[in-house]
Amino acid sequence: MARRLYDRGMRFHTEHLTFKTAKHREYINITPQVESALKTSGVQEGMILVSAMHITAGVWVNDAEDGLIADIDEWLEKLAPFRQDYRHHRTGETNGDSHLKSLLVHHEVIVPVTKGKLDFGPWQQVYYAEFDGQRAKRVIIKVMGE
C-alpha cells in the first residue's frame, strides 16, 4: 500500500551538463553525473528527468555494453543515414540525419528514485547520444521528490 509522507516537503534540484564531443556521433554514459545530482539533491523518493537541450542529441536508458552501443549506432545510421538530399539541408545545414536520429532515441528519460538511489533494472544506465557534435551542447538534470 502506498503511503504519502506529509511531514516532508517536495524538493527540486537542477544541474546542467555540457558536452563538446570529439566526434560527430558519440555516446556517453552519464549515469555517474545523474547519481551525483541525486546525491546533491537529498531526494529519497521521487524521479529524475534527464533531457538533452538540443534537437540533434538524445538521452536513453539501456545496457552499458560496447557491442550494444555499436549495434545501436549502426541501426540508427541505417534508419537515418547521412545523405546530401534532405530538405533540411536547403536551409544551409548539413545535419538532417542528426535530427532524425534524435527523434528515434528521443530527447529525455525519467528515472525513478527509491530510497535515495536510481531505481534501475540490473543493467540499465543513462546515456547521452550526440548526433551533431564537436560543439558545446547541454543536458538538464532535474531531480524532483521528497
Structural domain boundaries in the chain: 11-145
Distance CA 90, CA 64 (A): 37
The pLDDT assigned to 6 comes to 52
Would the pTM count as exceeding 0.85? yes
Summarize the confidence of residues 27-40 as an average pLDDT.
98
Fold type of domain 11-145: Jelly Rolls (2.60.120)
Summarize the confidence of residues 63-75 as an average pLDDT.
97
Of the chain, the percentage scoring pLDDT greater than 70 comes to: 95
C-alpha cell at 75: 541501426
pLDDT band per the 50, 70, 90 thresholds, residue 2: very low
Average pLDDT, the chain: 94
User: Would you say residue 120 has pLDDT above 60?
Assistant: yes
Are residues 146 and 44 in contact, defined by beta-carbon separation less than 8 angstroms?
Answer: yes
The SS3 assignment for 6 reads: coil
Summarize the confidence of residues 81-109 as an average pLDDT.
95
DSSP string, 51-86: EESSTTEEEEEEE--HHHHHHHHHHHHHHS---S--
pLDDT band per the 50, 70, 90 thresholds, residue 56: very high
User: Would you say residue 1 has pLDDT above 50?
Assistant: no
The pLDDT assigned to 7 comes to 54
The pLDDT assigned to 9 comes to 86
